[in-house]
Structure 1
Amino acid sequence: MVRGRGLRRPLPDGQRPEFGLYLTGRPPRISGWPSRWLRWPDFWLPLDRDEAVQAIHEAWTHSAARRVEIACGGGVGRTGTALACLAVLDGLSGRDAVDYVRRNYSPRAVETPWQRRYVGNFRP
């Protein structure tokens, strides 16, 4: 029920999301479904950690019954980090969550050491 993508790429074929979480430095131009924007600069961490926990938890809650899209500019670092945090909410350890996302989404996901550490310390 969750897909990651890069906003610099076209919207993929198939069903549209029913909720989106967008991780960018500026508000994205998204319309057509409810969404939430989280200010998260490229290669870094969310600027407001408490808001990030709330936003990721909101996406996780929506994913129980709705199609959710999580996206950043390239669809790798920030998106992979948020996807790994969803896996932590599902019960994986931080290390296992990063491995899972790299194996099942993108081998380059969770690009930086501080993003890996963020996933390891992620607590709702």
Structure 2
Amino acid sequence: MIEMWNADTPKTVTLPSGRTFRGRGLRNGLPEGQTPTLSVYLTDHEPPASPWESLWVPWRDFWLPADPVEAMRTLRIAYDRAADERVEICCGGGIGRTGTGLSALCVFEGMDPREAVTWVRRNYHPRAVEVPWQRRFVRQVHAAGAPGPERP
């Protein structure tokens, strides 16, 4: 069994379902302490190999994912795996794209898009989801019929 994120791990947010994610800015380096079991990199360049599993979503800074449908699929994998793994969502600065990804995860929880962005700004970073088209992506996740948490 994998040990989940410690309660004192910086930049972690716990969604209403109990799933906990760490948001991270890659330019800030790897924090001390626990490492993820899965990282989702929302970056314009493929990240270097890491000793843990990672998924890459091509996504330019201040823009949208190159393939929004694939980004939704990848974020859903992260959401599902966070039920019993240490998952992190990261981009260059750890604010805009990371906040947008975290907001999409909130939509998977059943939040409406506006509520999701507000929740992430309150619980993760006040400037998360930096540009209007990132908010539009969160609405697209909702419009795509993002399912809520899986039920036993």
- TM-score class, shorter: over 0.9
Please list every run of 5 or more consecutive structure 1 residues that lacks an aligned counterpart in the other structure.
none
Q: Once the 2 structures are TM-superposed, how far is the Cα of residue 14 of structure 1 from its aligned partner?
A: 2.1
Structure 1 residue aligned with 2:111: 92
Query: Is 1:27 equivalent to 2:46 in the alignment?
Result: yes
* TM-score, length-scaled by structure 2: 0.79
Greater relative contact order, per chain length (Cα 8 Å cut-off, separation 6+): 1
Q: Tell me the alpha carbon deviations over residues 59-107 of structure 1, each in whole angstroms, 9 at most, x when there is no partner.
A: 1011111010100001110000000000000111100000000001000
**May I ask how many residue pairs the two structures share in their alignment?**
124
- Structure number with greater Rg is 2
What is the CA–CA distance in structure 2 between the aligned matches of 1:86 and 1:47, rounded to whole Å? 18
Work out which of the residue numbers 46, 49, 60 in structure 2 matches 1:41.
Answer: 60
1:118 aligns with 2:141: no
Distance 1:31 1:50, change over 3 A: same
Partner Cα distance (2:94, 2:68) in 1: 20
2:17 aligned partner: none
TM-score, normalised on structure 1? 0.96
Q: Runs in 1 of length 4+ with deviation above 3 angstroms?
A: none
**Counterparts of residues 32-111 of structure 1 (less than 5 Å):** 32-111=51-130
For 1:100, what is the secondary structure of its paired residue? helix
Alpha-carbon distance in 2 for matches of 1:87, 1:120: 11
| Alpha-carbon separation, structure 2, partners of 1:21 and 1:78 | 11
